[in-house]
Structure 1
């Protein structure tokens, strides 16, 4: 039971990290596009 909960928490943590990275990536990508548009 404990191992099962540990696996579930690890999976949950992994999903949360992926979601955060996805959001950061999208924001950074949008920022770079706006920056390039402003410069050119």
Structure 2
């Protein structure tokens, strides 16, 4: 049984996870630049 609302929640969670990973990566780059 395919449930659109569940798929939507999963997609939203994936987008949030991707945004968090991107934010952490960007933060790491900024810290590395400042640390030099």
TM-score normalised by structure 1 residue count: 0.82
Number of residue pairs aligned between Structure 1 and Structure 2: 36
Give the structure with the higher percent helix: 1
Q: Kindly name which structure, 1 or 2, has the bigger radius of gyration based on alpha carbons.
A: 1
Q: Any gaps of 5 or more consecutive residues in structure 2?
A: none
Structure 1's consecutive aligned runs of 4 or more residues displaced over 6 angstroms after TM superposition are none
TM-score normalised by structure 2 residue count: 0.90
Q: Any gaps of 5 or more consecutive residues in structure 1?
A: none
